[in-house]
Amino acid sequence: MIDLNILKENPELAKSVKLEISGADLLAFGEAIHKAAFEAGEKTPIEKEVYLTPAEFAEVLKISLVTLWSWDRKNITRPLRIGNKKLYRRSDLEKIMCHG
């Protein structure tokens, strides 16, 4: 397989290089990328989403439930609906707090 790190280390060469790649080299390259991505994914802990009730969500933001209902109607917030139950993603709360 061709070592493409040469192009990575010398980006000016990448502008003028044309490669002819065999099917076997292309498959090996794809497998190498897949393996690297898989290994990188193993090192990253998987975060589970946390869900909050409307009261919990509103309490953190220090807003009333009426305001939260209004935000839902304006698509500022997007609750999940499971039957009659509404739940809010903690990640959405963090986005609101960071951009608020």
Report the alpha-carbon distance of residue 21 to residue 18 in Å, rounded: 10
The C-alpha angle 26, 28, 34, rounded to 5 degrees, equals 105
- What is the value of pTM for the model shown? 0.52
pLDDT in tens, the chain (100 residues): 557 677 778 778 777 777 788 888 888 888 988 888 877 766 555 568 899 999 999 999 999 999 999 999 999 999 999 999 999 999 898 888 887 5
- pLDDT at position 95 is 87
Residue-by-residue DSSP string for the chain: ---THHHHH-HHHHTT------HHHHHHHHHHHHHHHHHHHHHSPPPPP-EE-HHHHHHHHT--HHHHHHHHHTTSS--EEETTEEEEEHHHHHHHHHH-
Evaluate whether 2 touches 21 at the Cβ level (below 8 Å): yes
Spans of all domains in the chain: 5-43, 51-99
What does the pLDDT read at residue 2? 59
User: Taking CA 43 as the corner, what is the angle to CA 25 and CA 49, rounded to the nearest 5 degrees?
Assistant: 120
